[in-house]
Structure 1
C-alpha cells in the first residue's frame, strides 16, 4: 500500500450539545513511519467483520443532498487530488452539518487517507477517538496523556476511487459503524450519500443459500454438490483475504466449466430472481461461509456439526426415518462413550 495523501482534522463537539467546531490542519500530514503504522492499524481494524457496502445514490453529486460525491468530482482527477488539504477541509465542514443534527454524537479526529494498492486508488475517511492513558517521562515520572484509541474504529468508510471514477455500477463504497448507535450510523450514511447499504454478512449468507438452491434445482448429486460448494467457499475466502469483492459471474463461469453453460445461465437466473436479487459483486464475510461446507444444528440437549462432504461417506442420512448413522466417531468422543459403557 502506497500512501499518496494524508491529513487529520479535529472535530470538537460534546455529547448533549449541537454546536460543533472544526479545527482544520492547514497542510497535509507527512507520510512518515508513524503515519504508515497508524494507516496499517486502521486498515486491519477496518477489515474485521461487520462491513457494509454501497454506492453513491448520485455518483456526480448535486447541490442538494450529500456533498461528498460533489467534492470528489471537484478535486479528484486522473488518479490524484488537485488539492487534498482543501478537499478534506470542505469534506470535514460538510460532515459537521450532519453531526450537529445529533445531540448524542461527539467529536473526534477525522482521518483522510488516499492510497494506492495494485494500481487501484482508495480513500479512507475515518472518525478516530482519543482516550486517556498514562505516560512515562524522561525522569520516569507518570503523567496523564491523551492518545488515539486503536482498539476499535468508531465510524469509517473506504471508497474505491478508481471504480467510482470509471462509472462502475458495483458497490465501490465499504463502511463500518463499529458500536456506534443507529442514530449516529444514520447521519454517517447520509453524509456519505450512499444508496441502500448492504451488510457483507447478510449478502454472504444469501450467496450460501443461492448455492444450495442452485444445487437443489439442478438435482446435482450430493458429492458433486459438496465439491462445488467447496470451490465456491475457496473463491470467497480468497477474495476476503485480498479484501476485494467477489463477482457472481466468476462463480457462474465455474458452473459453466464444471457442469454446462445452460446450468451457468440457470445459476445467474436464480441469482437475479426476486427471492435473491444478488448484487453483481459482493464483499465476503468469512464467518458467514461456514454453511457452505458444514452442516450443523442444535437443540437444548444436543449440538452437532460436521463437514458436509462426510455425508454419504462416514455419515449416512435416512430421510424416511430422519436418522443419522455415524460410522467414524471422533476418538475423544469414542473414549467417553466407551468409559460410560463399562
Structure 2
C-alpha cells in the first residue's frame, strides 16, 4: 500500500493535455508536484466515488493482454511494485505522455485536464482512477499551477470520461474478473479512450452483461417489490420482446422504462443496485443464450397451441396419455425437433 494516506485518498495529480477536435496541435503541461490532500481534494474524490457507485453509465471491462501495444496495464503494474509519492508522479507522467501520443494519432478526439488519483473505496477496494476533464475556465483547476482551486467540485458536465482500475482484482491475474470500469460524463466512451489509450478489451462480455441485468431486474421485482408469478411473467415477456427487437444493443435505462415506468421506482432500483454492489453495464448486446430461460419460462406459462405437420411424424409414434393429459411423440424426427426448438427459443437455424 502507499506510504502516505489521509482519509481514503493516497495521491492525486493533474496534468494539462489540451487539444481541440480535428486539430493536431497539443498544448501540454506536466505537473511536477502532487496536489495537496485537503478538504477540496477530499470533496472531489468523495463526489467521484459516490457518482461512480450509483451512476448507471458505468461499464466494466478488462485490460488487453498485450502490454507492449497497450502499455497502461504495464504502467499500473509497475506502479504497484513501489507505491509512493515519487513512483506515483512518474506513473502519472507516463499515463499523460501516452494519452498525448494517442491524441496525436486521432484527430477526432479532444484533450483536457488529466486527473489521476489513488484512493481506497469500501466497495471496490484499492483503486487508481484516470479522469479526463474538459479544459473550460470554470473546471476548478488552476491553469498555471495545475492545482485545485477552492471552487473545485466534481461537475459531470466537465468530465469527458473516467476509468478506474481495481488494483486488488487486477493483481489476482484472473482474466475473467472485471478490473476496469468506465464512467462517461459529457461524452460517450470513445474507441480512442477505451481501446487505444486505456487498452481495454471488451466492455463486459455480452453473456455476462445480459445475465447480470436480468438477475438484477428479477431479484428486485421479486424480493424488493414482491411481484407475483403472473406479474413476473409479464415483466419477463416485456424484456424479452425488447431484446428480440433490439438484437445489437439494449440499455439498462430502457429496461427500467419498460418494467418501472415511474421515475421514483427507477431511483429505488438504482439504490438497490448500489446497495447490493451489482455490476451492470449501461448498454450491451443481448445474448440469446443468456435470456433463453426467460423465453422458455413465459412460453411455458402462457397457453399456446402448436400445430404439427403430419408429415413430420409417424402415426405409430404419437400417443396421448389421458392421466397426464400429455401428447407424447416417441422418437421424433430431426426436422420436428428443429422446428420445436425454433418455436420455443425463436433462435436462428444452427444456434
TM-score (norm 2): 0.54
Match of 1:39 in 2: 45
Q: Secondary structure at the match of 1:89?
A: helix
Q: Shift in Å at residue 241 of structure 1?
A: 2.8
More displaced, 45-54 or 173-182? 173-182
Distance (Å, rounded) in 1 between the aligned partners of 2:73 and 2:121: 21
Match of 1:275 in 2: 289
1:1-342 matches, cutoff 5 A:
2-47=8-53, 48-58=55-65, 61-63=66-68, 65-77=69-81, 83-118=87-122, 120-132=125-137, 150-152=155-157, 153-168=159-174, 169-180=176-187, 185-190=190-195, 191-198=197-204, 204-207=212-215, 222=229, 238=272, 240-241=274-275, 243=277, 245=279, 275-276=289-290
Distance (Å, rounded) in 2 between the aligned partners of 1:319 and 1:111: 58
Contact 1:110 1:126 survives alignment (8 Å): yes
Distance (Å, rounded) in 2 between the aligned partners of 1:42 and 1:87: 21
Distance (Å, rounded) in 2 between the aligned partners of 1:87 and 1:134: 24
Q: Shift in Å at residue 130 of structure 1?
A: 3.8
Structure 1 residues 235 and 38: CA distance shift in structure 2, 3 A: closer
Contact 2:11 2:88 survives alignment (8 Å): yes
In the alignment, structure 1 segments of 5+ residues that lack a partner are 136-145, 212-220, 247-272, 278-290, 292-316, 321-342
In the alignment, structure 2 segments of 5+ residues that lack a partner are 1-6, 141-150, 220-227, 237-267, 281-286, 295-300, 305-351
Match of 2:256 in 1: none
Distance (Å, rounded) in 2 between the aligned partners of 1:163 and 1:134: 32
Distance (Å, rounded) in 2 between the aligned partners of 1:38 and 1:109: 14
Q: Secondary structure at the match of 1:111?
A: strand
Q: Shift in Å at residue 154 of structure 1?
A: 1.2
Q: Shift in Å at residue 172 of structure 1?
A: 1.2
Structure 1 residues 242 and 109: CA distance shift in structure 2, 3 A: farther
Q: Which has the higher strand share?
A: 1
Distance (Å, rounded) in 2 between the aligned partners of 1:203 and 1:19: 44
Contact 1:154 1:179 survives alignment (8 Å): yes
Distance (Å, rounded) in 2 between the aligned partners of 1:97 and 1:164: 25
Q: Secondary structure at the match of 1:27?
A: coil
Structure 1 residues 222 and 117: CA distance shift in structure 2, 3 A: same
Structure 1 residues 224 and 149: CA distance shift in structure 2, 3 A: closer
Distance (Å, rounded) in 2 between the aligned partners of 1:223 and 1:16: 54
TM-score (norm 1): 0.55
Q: Shift in Å at residue 46 of structure 1?
A: 3.1
Question: For the aligned residues, what is the CA RMSD?
Answer: 4.3
Structure 1 residues 41 and 201: CA distance shift in structure 2, 3 A: farther
